[in-house]
Structure formats: C-alpha cells, structure tokens
Amino acid sequence: MKTISIFGGSKIGQRHWRPGRKVWSIAIFGGCDMDFRQAELEEGVTKVVAISILGGHKVVVPQDMPVSLSGFSFLGGREMKRSKATEIAVTSAKALHINAISILGGFEVTE
C-alpha cells in the first residue's frame, strides 16, 4: 500500500483494511494519520516506511501489538507514546516495524 500527501492530509484505517506486508507513506507539507487498530495484518512483521518532509505522521496501534521504531530525524522528531514490546505476543505472530524518516517534520506512535 502506498499513500502520498502533498499540501494536504490523508487518513488511513478508519475501518477494516488490509495493508499488505509493506506500507509506504510520504507527507510533504502535509500529514498522514494511519490507524492499525482495525487492520487485518498478515502473519509476521508488517513494515511501514514513513517519510515526512515539512509534514507529519501519526500512527495509532493496538495496545497489545509489538511495535519497533527506527529511522532518522533532521530538525524534526520521532516519539513513541507507548511501551515498546520487544517480543511477539504468544497469541499472535503479528507485529509492526516502522522506519520513520523526518526532515523538518514529526512522527508519533500512540495506542
């Protein structure tokens, strides 16, 4: 799945959706909200690449989903407003790995 926001915004995941194994999101002078609470993820790790240039990303994840965050920020920031889960839950083999790149922009993960 791919989404691009230029001088505007986009919202993904307001109802059931299937993102696939890799999600690309680019926000330039805009923003993107991604909600994974109703996402039907495939087994294994779903990779999210979020690029913010003078824009921002906000990702909402379920409370019990393991999430890892990596990336690069230049005059911007990345913030995880939840506890990092280091292991995949026994009941589910689903997890997110987010690679956030921010240039004069921001990135936030919340529950």
pLDDT above 60 for 87: no
Q: What is the pLDDT of residues 20-76, one digit of tens each?
A: 899 999 999 999 999 999 999 989 999 999 999 998 999 999 888 888 999 999 988
pLDDT at residue 88 above 60? Answer: no
The model carries a pTM of: 0.83
Q: Residue 22 pairs with which residues in a beta bridge? A: 47
The two beta strands, 56-60 and 94-103, are: unpaired
Q: Give tens-digit pLDDT for 68-84.
A: 999 999 988 888 887 65
pLDDT given at position 89: 52
Q: Which residue has the higher pLDDT, 89 or 110?
A: 110
Cα 71 to Cα 47, 74, 84, 91, 99: the distances in Å are 12, 10, 15, 28, 5
Q: What's the maximum distance between 2 C-alpha atoms anywhere in the chain?
A: 42
What does the alpha-carbon distance between residue 104 and residue 90 come to, in Å, rounded to a whole number?
38
Q: Report pLDDT for 93.
A: 80
Mean pLDDT of 90-105: 85
The pLDDT, as a whole number, for residue 35 is: 94
